[in-house]
Amino acid sequence: MNVFRRLAAQWAERYRKMSIQMVLSLSFTAVAAAGMLLMSVSLIWRFSAVNEQLVAENSRRVLAQANLNLDSYLRRMMRISDTVYYRSIKNMDLAEDDLTGDLSLLYEENRDDLVSLAVFDGEGALVSAVPLTALKRDAETADSDWFQAASQSMENLHFSTPHVQNIFDDPDYPYRWVVSLSRHVQLTRDGATEGGVLLVDMSFSGIEQVCRDVTLGSGGYLYLIDGDGELIYHPRQQLIYAGLLEENNRAAAAYRDGSHQEKFQGRSRQVTVKTMGYTGWKLVGVAPAESWFAASPQLPLFGLTLLLFSIFLMAFLNFLISARISDPILRLERSIRELDKGLAGVKIEEGGCYEVQRLNHAVASMVSTMRHLMDDIVRQEGEKRRSELEVLQSQINPHFLYNTLDSVIWMTESGQQTEAIQMVTSLARLFRISLSKGKSIIPLADELEHARHYMNIQQIRYKNKFTTEIEARPGTEGLYTLKLIIQPLLENAIYHGMASAEDDGLIRVTAYREGEDLLIDVEDNGLGMRPELAASLLDEDRPEVRTKGSGIGVRNVHQRVGLTFGEGYGLAIFSEPDEGTLVRIRLPALDREEAERRRQGEEL
Amino acid sequence: MKTEKSRLIQIAILAALGLAAALSLALPQLLRGEREPQLLSLTVLLRDTDSSGWTVARQGMEQAADELGAELRFLTLAAANDGAEQEELLLREIEDGAAALVVVPADPAALSAALDPWLVVCPVVTLESPMEGAAGVVSPDNALLGQELAEALLEDWDGGEVLLLDTAGRCAGVSARLAAAEETLAAEGIPARRAEALPEEPPRWVMAFEPSVTQRTAEGREAGGRDFALYGVGSAAAITAQLERGNLAAIAAWSDYAAGYLAVRRAVNAVRGTGGALGPLPFFILREEDIYAPENQKLLFPIMSSSSR
């Protein structure tokens, strides 16, 4: 029981690890093979049963024919006996007539079948015999089985089992095998009757010839026994007599007429018995099991070939069909695994049978919905981030406002009316452009104007330690840009580039077109920085330190441009220590229509 | 990865099934080749000039040859017990392609030495005498046979010398019978002597240990009207007839049919590498009054002989 449980557990474990195709194909193949095996076994069983019946039928037919032939032969011998008795002995007085003449005549007529004809008186003394006329000196005729049988049962004719006839004196000592037919007869001598025995010795070869040519199919044979099972004829009789072979003749003597199954010396065989009418002898037909179980030894092999080929075909078809069923499921599973790994652009195929198609469709629909939701989340997050950045950048630095207003007060008190007015005017313009009616995309000219006003204010504050050049090259007319992207760069240039300037500082802003892009360069001739530091300023993972000149404004501009226009757009910083810094803004070259379309998109 | 493994398993299953189907298709052809062995050519060589005493043994040999798919070639010698001629004939038969030999060796030791290089390729089965290197010997227990024949004589013995006919020369089987009989008689204090031929005036008791010598001596006894008790060996019809006529007091007999059958069967099995060792052949001491006992009839007179006559 434990073994079965362990096997079941092992099978369940193996089943869990098997692919669906393997489960389908192996199960189908196993069921098909079992079915075919069952069918083959039942066919073979049925075939064998029918064959067994046919063999039995054939044996019965052959035995009936052999019985007919043998009976005919024995009846001929009995007729010879009758002829001797009723035509010669009954009509003769032995005191006057000689029986030998009649016996010789009959013997000559039947010499192929007869060995001797003899008549004995009641004491066993020879009355007459042919062809040998004298008995051996020590012949004990009266003690012979055939004599005793005839004397004891006077009404019948008696057939002996084969024996060597040894009573006649033959100088050649031929030792002939005979079957003796004996009967009790009434002899007449001097008018008086007395008992006697008539002996007809049939040549054994006569019986042998009748039985020898009978065949019972493959490996089958026929033998003849008397009522006690004593062997009369067997195709391998001398081997049995010599002790080199055994036969089941004693058991066969007990069988009734008909077909029987027996197992002899480890081999199954079918034995058919037919009892001969007068003699009580039994014809026994033997057919070994092989002769009906497989009429030809090639038949089971041919059956095996068919079975194996059928299983091969079934397995091949099962593998194909199971692959066709399971492949779409496997592809779906592979796609889901790829999705799980985060691969983009994974396509869900909608192949296979109806149920699998529905499953694929449902999964594809679910993935699509998920993607849309994720896109929405990403977009919303981007929008939110951009809005935050825009709000951050649109806020006027309170220090800047305080310093500017402080400068205006100082200039007013010192009588520099014109400079004060210029500063206030630039501040007002700065605010106006910053607002821009809430629009995030404004004309390039306005952005440059915004930069110019900012620089005007800063130049006054820094007492013209640096000069500013702002240029819009041809081709940029009518183009639009993101609002407030130059001012943070200028602020950075002033704080980092111009800190140590000695009236020779230069900040140059140049807008120009390159293909479908608008480029705005903000360049200073200040201290500059190492290229790796310059590269790190745009690194999103850089810790956010809100100090003056930390570069956070520059990074915000970079993120805003990226969030608004996508990858490929943003800032690039080129700098060398003591040579200055160039910050380049790359934007799509937006015309009025495109700018308007984007604005509407943002509003939506 | 798992799918690949499954595919490999499937291909392996299909390949195995395909191979099995192809093999089962080819198997009948292979089996047919095995089932139909070639007819084996066997040579049977006696040590006598006349094979009439081997008629029954020959019937047994032919029965075995018929059953086992062999054809027999019977040879006799120009001179009885000529070992050299026997060697020459056997070597010629081997060269002519005999698959196996069944021999009644005249000189087993010399024959074994002469055939030694060939015994592996051409098995030899001997009758009557064992031979070194032979695939088997079909013979009664010669020593026991000699002993029991002497004991049969002892039952009748009432005085006088016993003559032991020493006719076999170097034939070991016959010599073993003679030696055992001699030893048995000596143990009982019976005077015995050896002679190569029957003297003009033989003693009252004579023992022969070869079938042919037994037959000749019995015929000589009848023809010469001599009165001595002869004890011999053999079961040929001529010997049995002499026993029945009273020219033999007793014989040690065995089934010649069984001997012939077993010799050929063993030779065929030796060629095909099947079968096992042979045991000694059963024998019995037969007197006149027992000839026609049913069991003796079956052994002494082969039933097929009636149809062949």
CATH code: domain of residue A104: 3.30.450.20
In a domain, B300, yes or no: no
A54-57: long-range pairs with CB below 8 Å, 24+: A54/A292, A55/A217, A55/A220, A55/A270, A55/A287, A55/A291, A55/A292, A56/A259, A56/A270, A56/A272, A56/A287
Let me know if residue A51 belongs to a domain: no
Q: What is the CATH number of the domain that holds B101?
A: 3.40.50.2300
- Please indicate if any CB of chain A lies within 8 Å of the CB of B29: no
Q: Which residue has the higher pLDDT, B184 or A368?
A: B184
- Which tokens go with A439? 């629009």
**Mean predicted confidence (pLDDT) in B229-235:** 95
Whether chain A has a CB inside 8 Å of the CB on B16: the answer is no
**Amino acid B120: pLDDT:** 87
Q: Is the pLDDT of residue B1 over 60?
A: no
Max intra-chain CA distance, chain A: 204
Supply the pLDDT for residue A469.
93
Between A390 and A474, the higher pLDDT residue = A474
Q: How far is CA A534 from CA A46, A479, A537, A562, in A?
A: 95, 29, 5, 18
Report CB contact under 8 Å: A315, B291. Answer: no
Q: What contacts A378, CB < 8 A, 6 or more positions away?
A: none
In a shared domain, residues B208 and B231: yes
In a domain, A321, yes or no: no
Residue A544: per-residue pLDDT = 55
A10: in domain: no
Domain boundary among A159, A177, A207: A207
Nearest to B14 among A176, A244, A312 (CB): A312
Q: Is residue A275 in some structural domain?
A: no
Residue that terminates a domain, selected from A207, A230, A250: A207
Residue A502 neighbours by CB under 8 Å, 6+ apart: A465
The confidence score (pLDDT) of residue B308 equals 39
Q: Measured between CB atoms, does B244 come within 8 Å of chain A?
A: yes
ipTM: 0.85
B63 close to A (CB below 8 A): yes
pLDDT beyond 80 at A295? no
Q: Where would I find the H helices in A462-551?
A: 487-492, 531-536
Domain membership flag for residue A335: no
Q: B199 and B57: one domain?
A: no
Note whether residue A409 is domain-resident: yes
Determine, yes or no, domain membership for B290.
no
DSSP B140: B
* Domain span including residue B266: 40-139+256-280
Residue B89 is predicted with a pLDDT of: 92
Same domain, yes or no: B146 and B250: yes
pTM of the full structure: 0.65
For chain B, how many structural domains are there in total?
Answer: 2
Neighbouring residues of A326: CB distance < 8 A, sequence distance ≥ 6: A19, A20, A21, A24
Q: Identify whether B294 is part of a domain.
A: no
CB contact under 8 A, B28 and A174: no
Residue B306 scores a pLDDT above 50: no
Last residue of a domain, one of A162, A187, A207: A207
Of B9, B24, B300, the CB nearest to A22: B9
Question: Model confidence over A414-466: pLDDT tens digits?
Answer: 888 888 888 888 888 888 888 777 788 899 999 999 999 999 888 888 877 88
The mean pLDDT of A328-348, rounded to a whole number, is 81
B88 and B161 co-located in one domain: no
Q: How far apart are CA B232 and CA B217, in angstroms?
A: 9
Are B86 and B160 in a shared domain? no
User: What confidence tier does A321 reach under pLDDT thresholds 50, 70, 90?
Assistant: confident
**A14 Cβ neighbours under 8 A, 6+ residues apart:** none
Greater model confidence, A14 or B195: B195
Domain at A528, CATH number:
3.30.565.10
Q: Same domain for B239 and B274? A: no
Q: Which range among A218-222, A360-364, B146-150 has the greatest average pLDDT?
A: B146-150
- Which pLDDT value is given to residue A599? 75
Residues B186 and B126 in one domain: no
Residue A195 lies inside a defined structural domain of this protein:
yes
- Examine the domain organization and report whether B122 and B192 are in the same domain: no
On whether residue A420 sits in a domain, the answer given is yes
Q: Are residues B99 and B112 in the same domain?
A: yes
Q: Give pLDDT, residue B96.
A: 92
What is chain A's mean pLDDT, rounded? Answer: 86
A411 lies in which domain range?
Answer: 396-603
Residue B214 lies in a domain: yes
Q: Which residues of A touch B60 (CB under 8 A)?
A: 238, 242
Question: Is residue B48 domain-shared with residue B195, that is, in the same domain?
Answer: no
From the list B17, B24, B240, which residue is nearest A301 (CB)? B24
On chain A, the residues whose CB falls within 8 A of the CB of B291 are 166
Nearest Cα residue in chain B from A25? B10
Answer yes or no: is B215 within a domain.
Answer: yes
Q: Are residues B240 and B275 in the same domain?
A: no
Q: What is the pLDDT of residue A154?
A: 83
Task: Tell which A residues from 207 to 246 touch B, by Cβ distance under 8 Å.
Answer: 208-209, 236-239, 241-244
User: For residue B304, what is the nearest residue in chain A, using CA coordinates?
Assistant: A238
Does B184 share its domain with B118?
Answer: no
User: By CA distance, what is A22's nearest residue in B?
Assistant: B6
Asked if the structure places residue B77 within a domain, the reply is: yes
pLDDT per position as a tens digit, B54-108: 888 999 999 999 999 999 999 999 988 888 999 999 999 999 999 999 999 999 9
Spatial CB neighbours of A463, under 8 Å, sequence gap ≥ 6 = none
**B193 within domain boundaries:** yes
Distance from CA of B11 to the nearest CA of A (A): 9
In a domain, B81, yes or no: yes
**Chain A: closest CA distance from residue B15 (Å):** 9
Pick from B6, B291, B300: which is nearest to A22 by CB?
A: B6
Nearest-by-Cβ selection for A241 from B13, B35, B299: B299
Total count of domains within chain A = 2
A243·B282 Cβ contact <8 A: yes
**Predicted pLDDT at B309:** 33
